[in-house]
Amino acid sequence: MKAVVFQGVGEIGLEERPMPVLQEPGDALVRVTLTTICSSDIHIKHGAVPRAVPGVILGHEFVGVVEQVGAGVCRFRPGDRVAVNVETFCGECFYCRRGYVNNCADPQGGWSLGCRIDGGQAEYVRIPYADNGLMAIPDSVTDEAALFTGDLLSTGYWGAGLGEIRKGDTVAVIGAGPTGLCAMMCAKLYEPAHIVAVDVDPERLRLARENGLADVVLNPLECDVKPEILALTGGRGADCVMEAAGGERTFE
Protein backbone atom coordinates (compact mmCIF):
# COMPACT_ATOMS: atom_id res chain seq x y z
CA MET A 1 0.00 0.00 0.00
CA LYS A 2 1.04 3.65 -0.44
CA ALA A 3 1.91 5.61 2.71
CA VAL A 4 3.30 9.04 3.66
CA VAL A 5 6.35 8.43 5.84
CA PHE A 6 8.43 10.61 8.15
CA GLN A 7 11.91 9.74 6.92
CA GLY A 8 13.85 12.04 9.25
CA VAL A 9 14.01 15.74 10.08
CA GLY A 10 13.08 17.71 6.97
CA GLU A 11 12.23 14.60 4.96
CA ILE A 12 8.80 13.15 4.14
CA GLY A 13 8.24 10.66 1.34
CA LEU A 14 5.61 8.50 -0.32
CA GLU A 15 6.58 4.86 0.15
CA GLU A 16 5.25 1.41 -0.59
CA ARG A 17 4.51 -0.31 2.73
CA PRO A 18 3.07 -3.74 3.66
CA MET A 19 -0.53 -3.90 4.79
CA PRO A 20 -0.87 -3.61 8.58
CA VAL A 21 -2.19 -6.60 10.52
CA LEU A 22 -4.06 -7.02 13.79
CA GLN A 23 -1.65 -7.42 16.72
CA GLU A 24 -3.89 -7.37 19.80
CA PRO A 25 -7.48 -8.51 20.48
CA GLY A 26 -8.58 -4.88 20.82
CA ASP A 27 -7.21 -3.83 17.42
CA ALA A 28 -9.18 -2.87 14.33
CA LEU A 29 -7.95 -2.56 10.76
CA VAL A 30 -9.40 0.49 9.02
CA ARG A 31 -9.40 1.28 5.30
CA VAL A 32 -8.78 5.03 5.06
CA THR A 33 -11.25 6.89 2.86
CA LEU A 34 -10.28 10.47 3.67
CA THR A 35 -7.37 12.00 5.56
CA THR A 36 -5.84 15.41 6.07
CA ILE A 37 -2.69 17.14 7.26
CA CYS A 38 -2.43 18.62 10.76
CA SER A 39 0.05 21.31 11.73
CA SER A 40 1.49 18.69 14.09
CA ASP A 41 2.61 16.76 10.99
CA ILE A 42 4.53 19.85 9.91
CA HIS A 43 6.04 20.07 13.41
CA ILE A 44 7.22 16.46 13.05
CA LYS A 45 8.78 17.22 9.69
CA HIS A 46 10.75 20.11 11.16
CA GLY A 47 11.99 18.13 14.16
CA ALA A 48 9.82 19.86 16.76
CA VAL A 49 8.32 16.61 18.10
CA PRO A 50 11.13 14.70 19.84
CA ARG A 51 9.01 11.56 20.37
CA ALA A 52 8.28 11.17 16.65
CA VAL A 53 9.89 8.00 15.28
CA PRO A 54 11.68 8.20 11.92
CA GLY A 55 10.06 5.71 9.56
CA VAL A 56 6.58 6.12 11.05
CA ILE A 57 3.60 6.62 8.74
CA LEU A 58 2.18 10.08 9.43
CA GLY A 59 -1.45 11.04 10.00
CA HIS A 60 -3.79 11.23 12.97
CA GLU A 61 -6.87 12.92 11.49
CA PHE A 62 -8.82 10.62 9.18
CA VAL A 63 -11.97 8.62 8.56
CA GLY A 64 -12.51 5.22 7.02
CA VAL A 65 -14.26 1.88 6.96
CA VAL A 66 -13.57 -0.98 9.37
CA GLU A 67 -12.11 -3.96 7.50
CA GLN A 68 -11.23 -6.35 10.34
CA VAL A 69 -11.59 -6.42 14.12
CA GLY A 70 -9.84 -8.38 16.84
CA ALA A 71 -11.66 -10.81 19.09
CA GLY A 72 -11.80 -8.22 21.88
CA VAL A 73 -13.57 -5.51 19.86
CA CYS A 74 -17.26 -5.25 20.83
CA ARG A 75 -18.57 -1.96 19.45
CA PHE A 76 -17.56 -2.23 15.78
CA ARG A 77 -17.69 -4.71 12.95
CA PRO A 78 -16.43 -4.81 9.34
CA GLY A 79 -18.24 -2.34 7.12
CA ASP A 80 -18.76 0.34 9.78
CA ARG A 81 -17.83 3.89 8.76
CA VAL A 82 -15.74 5.46 11.49
CA ALA A 83 -13.86 8.58 12.54
CA VAL A 84 -10.63 7.95 14.43
CA ASN A 85 -9.65 9.69 17.66
CA VAL A 86 -6.20 11.29 17.59
CA GLU A 87 -5.60 9.85 21.07
CA THR A 88 -5.04 6.14 21.68
CA PHE A 89 -6.24 5.25 25.17
CA CYS A 90 -6.74 2.15 27.27
CA GLY A 91 -9.64 3.57 29.28
CA GLU A 92 -8.45 1.92 32.50
CA CYS A 93 -5.35 3.72 33.77
CA PHE A 94 -5.22 6.55 36.33
CA TYR A 95 -5.40 9.26 33.67
CA CYS A 96 -8.02 7.63 31.46
CA ARG A 97 -10.39 7.16 34.40
CA ARG A 98 -10.18 10.92 35.01
CA GLY A 99 -10.77 11.87 31.39
CA TYR A 100 -7.18 12.84 30.53
CA VAL A 101 -6.82 10.28 27.77
CA ASN A 102 -3.96 12.24 26.18
CA ASN A 103 -1.87 11.13 29.19
CA CYS A 104 -2.83 7.46 28.93
CA ALA A 105 -0.14 5.38 30.62
CA ASP A 106 -0.28 2.56 28.08
CA PRO A 107 2.89 2.33 25.92
CA GLN A 108 0.71 2.99 22.87
CA GLY A 109 -1.40 5.60 24.68
CA GLY A 110 -1.72 9.33 24.12
CA TRP A 111 -0.74 10.79 20.79
CA SER A 112 0.72 7.70 19.17
CA LEU A 113 -0.94 7.52 15.76
CA GLY A 114 1.27 9.09 13.15
CA CYS A 115 3.93 9.91 15.74
CA ARG A 116 5.13 6.74 17.47
CA ILE A 117 3.03 4.12 15.66
CA ASP A 118 1.86 4.12 12.04
CA GLY A 119 -0.95 6.56 11.32
CA GLY A 120 -3.60 7.27 8.74
CA GLN A 121 -1.90 8.91 5.76
CA ALA A 122 -1.98 5.50 4.15
CA GLU A 123 -4.46 3.15 2.54
CA TYR A 124 -4.92 1.09 5.72
CA VAL A 125 -4.12 1.59 9.41
CA ARG A 126 -4.19 -0.50 12.59
CA ILE A 127 -6.08 1.15 15.46
CA PRO A 128 -5.24 -0.07 19.00
CA TYR A 129 -8.05 -0.02 21.59
CA ALA A 130 -10.55 0.33 18.77
CA ASP A 131 -13.59 0.36 21.06
CA ASN A 132 -12.24 3.57 22.62
CA GLY A 133 -10.57 5.18 19.62
CA LEU A 134 -13.26 4.82 16.94
CA MET A 135 -16.54 6.69 16.58
CA ALA A 136 -19.31 5.54 14.24
CA ILE A 137 -20.24 8.01 11.51
CA PRO A 138 -24.04 8.28 11.06
CA ASP A 139 -25.36 7.62 7.54
CA SER A 140 -26.51 11.24 7.35
CA VAL A 141 -22.96 12.57 7.85
CA THR A 142 -20.44 12.69 5.00
CA ASP A 143 -16.79 11.73 5.36
CA GLU A 144 -15.88 15.38 4.75
CA ALA A 145 -18.14 16.56 7.58
CA ALA A 146 -16.77 13.93 9.97
CA LEU A 147 -13.10 14.41 9.11
CA PHE A 148 -12.21 16.91 11.83
CA THR A 149 -13.99 15.22 14.73
CA GLY A 150 -10.94 13.13 15.61
CA ASP A 151 -8.68 16.09 16.40
CA LEU A 152 -9.40 19.61 15.21
CA LEU A 153 -13.07 19.98 16.17
CA SER A 154 -12.60 18.02 19.39
CA THR A 155 -9.71 20.35 20.30
CA GLY A 156 -12.06 23.32 20.01
CA TYR A 157 -14.72 21.48 22.03
CA TRP A 158 -12.23 20.59 24.78
CA GLY A 159 -10.93 24.17 24.91
CA ALA A 160 -14.43 25.63 25.15
CA GLY A 161 -15.19 23.25 28.02
CA LEU A 162 -12.03 24.25 29.88
CA GLY A 163 -13.10 27.88 29.54
CA GLU A 164 -16.13 27.32 31.80
CA ILE A 165 -18.19 29.62 29.56
CA ARG A 166 -21.56 30.73 30.93
CA LYS A 167 -24.55 32.14 29.11
CA GLY A 168 -23.99 35.86 28.54
CA ASP A 169 -20.19 35.74 28.81
CA THR A 170 -17.76 37.35 26.41
CA VAL A 171 -15.33 34.93 24.78
CA ALA A 172 -12.17 36.08 23.00
CA VAL A 173 -10.43 33.65 20.64
CA ILE A 174 -6.90 34.63 19.66
CA GLY A 175 -6.16 33.07 16.30
CA ALA A 176 -8.88 32.57 13.70
CA GLY A 177 -7.30 29.69 11.82
CA PRO A 178 -8.92 26.24 11.65
CA THR A 179 -8.43 25.55 15.37
CA GLY A 180 -9.71 28.98 16.35
CA LEU A 181 -12.77 28.64 14.12
CA CYS A 182 -13.58 25.27 15.70
CA ALA A 183 -13.13 26.82 19.15
CA MET A 184 -15.59 29.59 18.23
CA MET A 185 -18.06 27.06 16.86
CA CYS A 186 -17.97 25.12 20.11
CA ALA A 187 -18.04 28.24 22.29
CA LYS A 188 -21.39 29.14 20.68
CA LEU A 189 -22.91 26.04 22.27
CA TYR A 190 -22.66 27.82 25.64
CA GLU A 191 -24.67 30.86 24.41
CA PRO A 192 -22.16 33.64 25.18
CA ALA A 193 -23.20 37.24 24.60
CA HIS A 194 -20.19 37.94 22.39
CA ILE A 195 -17.49 35.94 20.62
CA VAL A 196 -14.52 38.08 19.62
CA ALA A 197 -12.12 36.80 16.97
CA VAL A 198 -8.60 38.25 17.06
CA ASP A 199 -6.25 37.69 14.12
CA VAL A 200 -3.84 39.56 11.85
CA ASP A 201 -5.28 37.92 8.70
CA PRO A 202 -8.29 39.82 7.30
CA GLU A 203 -9.46 36.78 5.33
CA ARG A 204 -9.65 34.63 8.44
CA LEU A 205 -11.59 37.33 10.25
CA ARG A 206 -13.96 37.66 7.30
CA LEU A 207 -14.55 33.91 7.34
CA ALA A 208 -15.31 33.97 11.07
CA ARG A 209 -17.80 36.82 10.71
CA GLU A 210 -19.52 35.67 7.52
CA ASN A 211 -20.11 32.20 8.94
CA GLY A 212 -21.59 33.58 12.13
CA LEU A 213 -18.81 32.23 14.33
CA ALA A 214 -17.73 35.64 15.68
CA ASP A 215 -19.82 38.69 16.57
CA VAL A 216 -16.81 41.01 16.69
CA VAL A 217 -13.53 40.74 14.77
CA LEU A 218 -10.37 42.61 15.75
CA ASN A 219 -7.09 42.89 13.87
CA PRO A 220 -4.15 43.89 16.15
CA LEU A 221 -2.47 45.51 13.12
CA GLU A 222 -5.40 47.91 12.83
CA CYS A 223 -6.47 48.55 16.43
CA ASP A 224 -5.48 48.15 20.06
CA VAL A 225 -7.33 44.98 21.04
CA LYS A 226 -7.39 45.43 24.83
CA PRO A 227 -9.34 48.71 25.02
CA GLU A 228 -11.74 47.44 22.34
CA ILE A 229 -12.63 44.43 24.45
CA LEU A 230 -12.81 46.49 27.64
CA ALA A 231 -15.26 48.84 25.92
CA LEU A 232 -17.33 45.91 24.67
CA THR A 233 -17.61 44.46 28.19
CA GLY A 234 -18.12 47.62 30.23
CA GLY A 235 -14.56 47.51 31.48
CA ARG A 236 -14.72 43.90 32.69
CA GLY A 237 -12.68 42.24 29.97
CA ALA A 238 -13.28 38.86 28.37
CA ASP A 239 -14.65 36.14 30.65
CA CYS A 240 -12.87 33.44 28.68
CA VAL A 241 -9.83 33.74 26.41
CA MET A 242 -8.78 30.86 24.18
CA GLU A 243 -5.34 31.07 22.59
CA ALA A 244 -5.48 29.22 19.26
CA ALA A 245 -2.42 30.56 17.47
CA GLY A 246 0.49 29.04 19.39
CA GLY A 247 2.80 32.02 19.32
CA GLU A 248 4.80 33.67 22.09
CA ARG A 249 3.15 37.06 21.50
CA THR A 250 -0.35 35.61 21.51
CA PHE A 251 0.28 33.84 24.81
CA GLU A 252 1.39 37.19 26.23
pLDDT of res. 251: 84
pLDDT of res. 142: 97
Same domain? 113 vs 205: no
State the residue range of the domain holding 220.
Answer: 155-251
Total domain count for the chain? Answer: 2
Same domain? 33 vs 126: yes
Same domain? 9 vs 119: yes
Domain boundary residue, one of 150, 185, 215: 150
Domain boundary residue, one of 150, 168, 186: 150
Rounded-to-integer distance, Cα 112 and Cα 60, Å: 8
Same domain? 132 vs 180: no
CATH of the domain at 196: 3.40.50.720
Same domain? 124 vs 194: no
CA angle 187, 190, 195 (to 5 degrees): 45
pLDDT of res. 249: 86
Side by side, the strands of the sheet bearing 124-127 are 124-127, 28-35, 62-69, 81-84, 134-136
Same domain? 7 vs 42: yes
pLDDT of res. 30: 98
pLDDT tens, residue order, the chain (252 aa): 999 999 999 999 999 999 999 999 999 999 999 999 988 999 999 999 999 999 999 999 999 999 999 999 999 999 999 999 999 999 999 999 999 999 999 999 999 999 999 999 999 999 999 999 999 999 999 999 999 998 999 999 999 999 999 999 999 999 999 999 999 999 999 999 999 999 999 999 999 999 999 999 999 999 999 999 999 999 999 999 999 998 888 888
Total count of residues recorded for the chain: 252
Same domain? 145 vs 159: no
Rounded-to-integer distance, Cα 35 and Cα 116, Å: 18
pLDDT of res. 16: 98
Same domain? 93 vs 110: yes
**DSSP classification of residue 245:** S
Domain boundary residue, one of 150, 167, 196: 150
CATH of the domain at 115: 3.90.180.10
Same domain? 116 vs 159: no
State the burial class of residue 120 (Cβ atoms within 10 Å of its Cβ: 0-12, 13-18, 19+): buried
Same domain? 127 vs 241: no
pLDDT of res. 39: 87
pLDDT of res. 246: 84
pTM of the model: 0.87
Same domain? 34 vs 55: yes
Same domain? 36 vs 51: yes
Rounded-to-integer distance, Cα 124 and Cα 20, Å: 7
- Asked if 190 and 160 touch (Cβ cutoff 8 Å), the reply is yes
